Amino acid sequence: MAILHAKKENFEEILENHPLILLNFWAEWCAPCRAFIETLVTLDENEPVQVVKINTQREEELMKRFEVQGLPYSILLKNGEKIGEIKGKCSYEVLKQKIDTILAEERE
C-alpha cells in the first residue's frame, strides 16, 4: 500500500475503500510529526493498515471533526468507526503493539 493524503473532498471515499485505517494528523511545522513519518511508512509497508495522513494546516474541518488537540495524533478506524487513538510519536514496534492492543480490545 501507499500512504494516502486525505482532504475534505476525498475523505469519505477513502473511508469507503479501506476497512482498517490509521489517520495521522500532522503539520509541517511539527518536528515530532516529521520524525514520525518513517514509522508510518514502515507500518504501511508491513501491516494490513492503510495509513492516511491529514495536514491540519490545510484540513481544519477534518481536524475539528476528530477533535484533534495535539500533534502528532493518530486515530484507528475500523469500517469508518473510531476504535482507538494514539497520541504523540513512537517507534514502529510500539505503534504496532498499540494497534494490536486496540484491535484485541475491540474484538472482546
Residues whose CB falls within 8 Å of the CB of residue 41, separated by 6 or more in sequence, listed in order: 3, 51
pLDDT at 42: 96
Tell me the per-residue pLDDT of 47-104, one tens digit each, with 9 for 90 and over: 999 999 999 999 999 999 999 989 999 999 999 999 999 999 999 999 999 999 998 8
Pairwise CA distance, residues 45 & 51, whole Å = 10
Rounded to 5 degrees, what are φ and ψ at 4?
Answer: -100, 155
What domains does the chain contain, in order, with CATH numbers? 4-106 (3.40.30.10)
Please calculate the CA angle 48-24-91 and round it to the nearest 5 degrees: 70
pLDDT in tens, 12-28: 999 999 999 999 999 99
Residue 66 pLDDT: 94
State residue 80's pLDDT score. Answer: 94
pTM to 2 decimal places: 0.92
